[in-house]
């Protein structure tokens, strides 16, 4: 069975993707940008705040897929300026200190919106 999870992002239908997809015990969460509830950029200029927002969106998608953040086995943190990794790491650590998923930090040239400083992906595996 395949379950598609939407966050309501206007990019989902335009690009043809889902915020998350669950197939069996696996949930894959797409690259998640720091989009505020009103569609604006959350926390402009603030890597920590943007990372927190990305993780909030991911937490919602994971919950909508029927899992919890405790099931996250891998995250990928993409930054436009890798020298800011510690700010992103602080936000990640606040959420995942007890879970400790495999994690990668990587610098990218840019995102769809130049105000986005970070995007985060996550993969989950349900117990059992």
pLDDT of residue 9: 81
pTM: 0.95
Q: Which of 98, 35, 124, 9 is nearest to 17 (CA)?
A: 9
Q: For residue 71, which phi and psi values (nearest 5 degrees)?
A: -95, 0
- At 21-57, the pLDDT tens digits run 999 999 999 999 999 999 899 999 999 999 999 999 9
Domains of the chain: 2-125 (3.30.1330.40)
pLDDT of residue 22: 97
Low-confidence residues of the chain, pLDDT below 70?
128
pLDDT of residue 128: 66
Which residue bears the tokens 């029927």? 66
Q: Which of 9, 107, 94 is nearest to 51 (CA)?
A: 94
């Amino acid at each position: 069975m395949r379950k598609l999870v939407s966050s309501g992002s206007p990019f989902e239908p335009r690009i043809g993707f889902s915020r998350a997809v669950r197939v069996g015990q696996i949930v894959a969460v797409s690259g998640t940008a720091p989009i505020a509830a009103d569609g604006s950029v959350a926390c402009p200029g603030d890597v920590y705040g943007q990372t927190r927002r990305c993780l909030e969106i991911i937490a919602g998608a994971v919950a909508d897929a029927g899992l919890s953040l405790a099931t996250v086995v891998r995250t990928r943190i993409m930054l436009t300026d890798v020298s800011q990794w510690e700010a992103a790491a602080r936000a990640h650590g606040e959420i995942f200190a007890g879970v400790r998923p495999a994690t990668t930090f990587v610098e990218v040239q840019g995102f769809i919106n130049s105000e986005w400083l970070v995007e985060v992906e996550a993969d989950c595996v349900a117990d059992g």
